[in-house]
A = this chain, B = another copy of it.
Amino acid sequence: MATMTMIEAIRSALREEMARDERVVALGQDIGQLGGVFRATDGLLKEFGADRVFDMPLAEGVIAGSALGLAVSGLVPVAEIQFLGFTHQAFHQIAPQIARYRYRSQGRYNAQVTIRTPFGGGVRTPELHSDAIEAQFVQAPGLKVVMPSNPYDAKGMLLEAIRDPDPVLFCEPLRGYRLVKGEVPEGDYTVPFGQSRVTREGSDVTLVAWSAAVQLAERAAERLAEEGIEAKVLDLRTLVPLDVEGLVSAVESTGRCVVVHEAPLTAGFGAEVVATLQEEAFYSLEAPVARVAAPDTPYPIASIEDYYVPSVERVVDAVRRTVSAK
């Protein structure tokens, strides 16, 4: 096992899978010669050549839409959209086209398409680069929405995504690209979708998070431990499919829950987490499930983003209120 950053884990998944399966092709803006604006695809052009790694025109809609066509032709495309905020430009191809192609064709065609895209705040990017709009893709049945939080999952889930016969939106936490490190096996392994993971045990409250918010929850849990509150941290890992069972049992075991996400509060995926818990674990809940999220405003400009993205303090506060409720 080697220690890798998120970006290294992603790059190694791409490299290995392209070597293993010659149907895999990579496409996106600046992914060739430059190796991607974050170097996720660094070296791929050199290793696999210009017939498998494509610098695309600046048009997200056709990056997504042509990936569907490539899949129908028999290839296995892995597309990069430079930032999740620019999937807005491809929304009409992702939600009503790629996600529905199996359904529309009643199983004749499937869209084995992976769309990789970074998102999330805290790194002082210009407008629209940090938008956490993952929940908007959850209402696109047919699509899977995958949210790795660490290098191990990033590699294993990216391999799973590329091999999944159905389309996957694979969201990468920008902030974690170089900051989050972890052990990553060299060879082939996959992390199945729909299986959440407890990253820290605790009996007083369950913190539910995904992507970069997992580290936030863990930091909050450390802080809480100092004051004697033991928080369990649950990494959802995938929003679609949602691990209802894992979620429910993690929360039932503590009776209290705080959901943490980077997207604005209203209609963020946290709402679904709460609604699901409320339906499935109603009688185990000892206090209202709290949500710690960004406010209902656009992502602000760099100098004030730290007041926007949920902080350890806000999580700690919410947990304190939740454990003391009733």
Contacts and interface: CB of A to CB of B under 8 A. Distances in A.
Interface of A: 85, 88-89, 91-92, 95-96, 99-100, 103-104, 127-128, 131, 133, 135-136, 138-139, 141-142, 240, 242, 263-264, 266-272, 274-275, 278-279, 282, 285, 287-291, 296-298
B272 A267 contact: yes
12 contacts: A91-B92, A96-B131, A103-B298, A133-B139, A242-B266, A266-B272, A270-B275, A271-B274, A274-B278, A275-B275, A275-B291, A282-B288
Question: Nearest 4 A-B pairs (CB), nearest first?
Answer: A274-B275, A138-B267, A88-B92, A282-B288
A106 to B, nearest CB: 9
Contact of A128 (B89, B96, B242): B96
A94 B168 CA distance: 24
A64 to B, nearest CB: 12
B298 A99 contact: yes
Copy tally for this chain in the complex stands at: 2
B139 A263 contact: yes
A169 to B, nearest CB: 13
Nearest to A96: B88
Nearest to A267: B138
A96 B92 contact: no
**A85, A131, A240, A274: most-surrounded residue (chain B CB, <10 A):** A274
Nearest to A131: B96
A107 to B, nearest CB: 13
Nearest to A259: B275
Contacts of A290: 279
Contact of A96 (B85, B95, B275): B85
Contacts of A240: 266
A114 B272 CA distance: 29
Contacts of A104: 127, 298
Contact of A267 (B269, B287, B296): B269
Contacts of A88: 91-92, 95-96
A289 B96 CA distance: 30
A138 B266 contact: yes
